[in-house]
């Protein structure tokens, strides 16, 4: 059996890339790929191929890959549809085995002959084509952002395979803005002329850097093989799928889009579920799950401890935990008494633990988590209300009233419990406590962008931060997967 990881490796670890389609029209599509290769820190060689111009954007060009004197590991085609077959011939002659074909206009618009020609040429020369009608790849190991979106993601354990080129690269916007999900690799498989989602799933199975896999999936060209592979992989690494193109209009759109034999939900969902693949209809939820599962241990059971600075959000989290099949157990009297010892009389210790307006962060970040973890009464934690006091400080600073000068001086001196250093130290303690006990913890807040130093600290350390209504579902998916592993392991012993 060929090792798919080795077979497809050059898509993610090319030492050199040739680009067809970059042009002197400044903001054409292929130029975006070029700019992103240049800006992301990719250290390999880049060759521009152009049929007529001798320089493109100030760079030397070649007429064909055949004319390049050095070896080429990967070719990116963003050229017009009609010239793609000849380019592929040239790639074959040059001995190139990996081609990303961004160019569209094949089977999705009924160009069946064009597709067949691609496939035949690829077979003749043993070329692996990603696409056509795809967007490119991301491989953070070598700082490779070969997509049009100029926002390389942080390094991490998530691998994503997408039929949709837009989902494959537009997620970089949301990752950059607020999620800070650590990515290992993204593959945009497009119309799958001779490599498909199943191939990349097998490659990601063997990839030591990939801890969890997300699929934006429009249809299954090889349903039986997919099932067999996904079932095997899902016992090693969590897989989550966001099926796309499931309704009438959605299937119509998927057809126009990647010529996917769009698989209806009635067929797709049982296949996915039986294969141990988690399913979501929200593309963001997939990313949120990948973030949680690559940064946190799996919960050993369904019992959640909810810790909150405010009653309403804590209650909402508790409601949603129960809605999604988790438990928010009433804490034992002895544990509640220990909590009462440190909390004000207006606080609630039952679970959710609501510290109310008490701003004693040492309780929130240090003492409460230690007591909960030690108790053995919960399998996971969800926190609501993480922030530094920066927004408050900024507010006070801007008030034009001399009466406040002394408090402004105090803010300037940064000596408060709410200051960055003190908050981050307490936060680190919380992370140590939960990691040591292998208890997953999700943090929630109503501001997720990196506009607050504590938020920035949390996100830059790869720790997930979600909206409060999002975390329960994500923890539920983590527990679903954990439970699946428990059940499948148990089955094998029966």
User: Could you write out the DSSP letters of every residue in 432-464?
Assistant: HHHHHTT--EEEE-S--SS-SHHHHHHHHTT--
Q: Smaller CB distance to a copy of itself: residue 154 or 329?
A: 329
Residue number, 177 or 425, with CB nearest to a copy of itself: 177
Nearer to a copy of itself, 96 or 277 (CB): 277
Q: Where are the beta strands (DSSP E) in 131-208?
A: 137-139, 144-146, 155-162, 183-188
For a copy of itself, the closer of residues 126 and 460 by Cβ is 460
CA distance linking residue 58 with residue 72, whole number of Å = 21
Work out whether strand 137-139 and strand 155-162 pair parallel, antiparallel, or are unpaired: unpaired
Q: How far is residue 433's CA from residue 63's CA, in Å, rounded to a whole number?
A: 60
Nearer to a copy of itself, 191 or 234 (CB): 191
The least distance separating a copy of itself from the CB of residue 399, rounded to whole angstroms, comes to 5
Which stretches within 43-196 are classed as H helix?
Answer: 84-94, 112-125, 165-174
Output the CA–CA distances (angstroms, integers) from residue 335 to 94, 297, 375, in the order listed: 70, 24, 7
Provide the minimum distance between the beta carbon of 284 and a copy of itself in the complex, in angstroms, as a whole number. 6
- Identity of the residue, 318 or 366, whose beta carbon is nearer to a copy of itself in the bound complex: 318
Backbone angles phi, psi at 188, to 5 degrees: -105, 105
- Name which of 5 and 284 has its Cβ closer to a copy of itself: 284
CA Rg, the chain, in Å? 26
What angle in degrees, to the nearest 10, is found between the helix axes of 265-274 and 223-233? Answer: 30
User: Cβ closer to a copy of itself: 336 or 434?
Assistant: 336
- The H-assigned helical ranges of 131-196 are 165-174
What is the per-residue burial (b if ≥16 Cβ within 10 Å, else e) of 353-387? bbbbeeeebebbbbbbbbbbbeeebbbbbbbbbbb
Closest contact distance (angstroms) between CB of 316 and a copy of itself is: 5
For the CB of residue 325, give the shortest distance to a copy of itself in the complex, in Å.
Answer: 11
In the complex, minimum distance from the CB of residue 202 to a copy of itself, in angstroms, rounded to a whole number: 23
3-state secondary structure of 19: strand
356, 347 Cβ separation under 8 angstroms: yes
> Cβ 288 to a copy of itself, closest distance in Å?
12
Under 8 Å between Cβ of 184 and 157: yes
- 7 vs 329 by CB, closer to a copy of itself: 329
Task: Select 258 or 476, whichever has its Cβ closest to a copy of itself.
Answer: 258
Give the shortest CB-324-to-a copy of itself separation in angstroms. Answer: 10
> What is the smallest separation between the CB atom of 423 and a copy of itself, expressed in angstroms?
13
CB of 190 to a copy of itself, least distance (A): 10
Q: How many beta carbons lie within 10 A of that of residue 494, not counting itself?
A: 4
Beta bridge partners of 415: none
Least spacing, CB of residue 113 vs a copy of itself, in Å:
16
């Amino acid at each position: 059996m060929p090792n798919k990881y080795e077979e497809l490796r050059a898509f993610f670890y090319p030492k050199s890339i040739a680009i067809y389609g970059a042009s002197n029209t400044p903001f054409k599509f292929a130029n975006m790929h070029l700019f992103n290769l240049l800006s992301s820190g990719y250290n390999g060689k880049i060759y521009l191929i152009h049929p007529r111009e001798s320089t493109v954007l100030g760079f030397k060009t070649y007429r064909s890959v055949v004319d390049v004197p050095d070896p080429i590991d990967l070719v990116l085609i963003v050229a017009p549809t009609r010239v793609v077959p000849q380019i592929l011939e040239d790639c074959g002659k040059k001995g190139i085995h990996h081609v990303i074909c961004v160019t569209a206009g094949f089977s999705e618009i009924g160009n069946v002959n064009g597709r067949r020609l691609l496939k035949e040429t690829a077979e003749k020369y043993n070329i692996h084509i990603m696409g056509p009608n795809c967007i490119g790849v991301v491989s953070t190991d070598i700082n490779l952002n070969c997509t049009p979106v100029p926002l390389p993601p942080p390094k991490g354990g998530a691998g994503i395979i997408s039929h949709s080129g837009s989902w494959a690269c537009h997620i970089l916007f949301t990752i950059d803005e607020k999620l800070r999900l650590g990515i290992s690799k993204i593959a945009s498989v497009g119309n799958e002329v001779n490599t498909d989602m199943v191939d990349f799933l097998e490659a990601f199975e063997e990839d030591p850097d990939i801890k969890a896999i997300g699929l934006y999936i429009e249809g299954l060209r090889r349903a039986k093989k997919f099932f067999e592979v996904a079932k095997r992989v899902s016992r090693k690494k969590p897989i989550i799928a966001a099926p796309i193109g499931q309704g009438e209009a959605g299937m119509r759109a998927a057809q126009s889009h990647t010529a996917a034999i769009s698989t209806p939900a009635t067929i797709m969902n049982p296949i996915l579920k039986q294969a141990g693949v988690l399913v979501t209809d929200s593309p963001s939820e997939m990313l949120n799950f990948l973030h949680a599962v690559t940064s946190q241990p799996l919960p050993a059971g369904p019992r959640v401890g909810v810790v909150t600075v405010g009653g309403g959000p804590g209650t909402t989290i508790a409601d949603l935990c129960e809605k999604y099949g988790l438990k928010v157990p009433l804490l034992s009297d002895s544990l509640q008494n220990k909590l009462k010892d440190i909390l004000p009389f207006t606080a609630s210790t039952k679970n959710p633990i609501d510290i109310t307006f008490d701003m004693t962060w040492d309780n929130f970040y240090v003492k409460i988590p230690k007591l909960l973890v030690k108790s053995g009464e919960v399998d996971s934690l969800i926190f609501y209300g993480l922030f530094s006091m920066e927004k408050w400080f900024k507010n006070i600073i801007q008030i034009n009233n001399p009466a406040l000068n002394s408090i402004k001086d105090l803010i300037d001196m940064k000596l408060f419990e709410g200051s960055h250093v003190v908050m981050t130290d307490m936060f680190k303690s919380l992370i140590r406590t939960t990691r040591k006990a292998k208890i997953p913890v999700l943090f929630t807040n109503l501001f997720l962008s990196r506009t607050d130093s504590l938020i920035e600290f949390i996100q830059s350390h790869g720790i997930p931060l979600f909206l409060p209504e999002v975390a329960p579902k994500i923890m539920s998916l983590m527990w679903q997967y954990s439970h699946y592993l428990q059940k499948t392991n148990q089955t094998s012993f029966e």
